[in-house]
């Protein structure tokens, strides 16, 4: 019930595939290939966001020189709270600085 799924995935997506993609993104953050931030409340992670500036060789590139929000995730209790919008605003500002 706590499994993580991306848009287009569902409970039929093998968990190993989902876990592999999460590891892939985590490694990209650790290698500073993409940016990431987390939201905390009372010492608990309540959300995260991952984004990057697109380049020709970037695996998620839509338009080189622009930015892509790769993931935004919020725990269910904080959905509809405006935190997602805050993430998007923060990312847009970060991308403006980077581009």
Q: Which residues contact 45 (CB under 8 A, 6 or more apart)?
A: 38, 39, 75
In degrees rounded to 5, what are phi and psi of residue 89? -60, -45
Q: Which two tokens stand for residue 46?
A: 């309540």
Residue 82 and residue 99: Cα distance in Å, rounded? 26
Instruction: Report the alpha-carbon distance of residue 37 to residue 60 in Å, rounded.
Output: 19
Q: Which two tokens stand for residue 91?
A: 């990312």
Output the pTM of the full model: 0.67
pLDDT in tens, 44-94: 888 888 888 888 887 777 677 788 888 888 888 888 888 889 888 988 888
């Amino acid at each position: 019930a706590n499994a993580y799924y991306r848009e287009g995935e569902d409970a039929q997506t093998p968990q190993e595939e989902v876990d592999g993609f999460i590891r892939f993104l985590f490694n990209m953050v650790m290698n500073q290939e993409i940016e990431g931030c987390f939201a905390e409340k009372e010492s608990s992670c309540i959300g995260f966001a991952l984004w990057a500036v697109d380049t020709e060789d970037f695996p998620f590139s839509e338009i080189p020189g622009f930015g892509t929000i790769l993931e935004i995730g919020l725990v269910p209790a904080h959905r509809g709270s405006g935190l997602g919008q805050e993430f998007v605003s923060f990312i847009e500002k970060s991308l403006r600085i980077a581009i």
